[in-house]
Amino acid sequence: MALASAGALVAVFAGLAAKALPGHHTVKVTQVRASATQRQAVAPPLVPVEAAAAPAAPASAPAPTQAAPVVVSGGT
C-alpha cells in the first residue's frame, strides 16, 4: 500500500514536471516504472498447501457380494 501511494505520488509529480519541464519527462516516467517493479517483487503471503498425509484408508474394505451391481467402476 505504501509503495502504491509512493508510486501515485511519483506519477503526480511526473505529470507536473512534464508540464513544467517537457525535456525531463522521460526521467520521471522511469521512476514510476521502477516503483511498479519494486511493488511486484513483494509477493503476497502464500498459505501452504494442506500438509495432508497420504490418501486415507476407508472405514471398511470392500466386501465380496452376490448382489446385482448398480454401477460399474472402470477406466474412463
Taking the least distance from each CB to another protein, the nearer of 22 and 44 is: 44
How far is the C-alpha of 17 from the C-alpha of 25, rounded, in Å? 7
- Which stretches of the chain bind another protein, using CB under 8 A? 43-47, 49-76
DSSP per residue, 36-54:
HHHHHHSPPPPPPPP---S
Residue for grid cell 501452504? 48
Residue 45 Cβ, how far from another protein at the closest point, in Å?
7
CB of 7 to another protein, least distance (A): 18
CB of 40 to another protein, least distance (A): 10
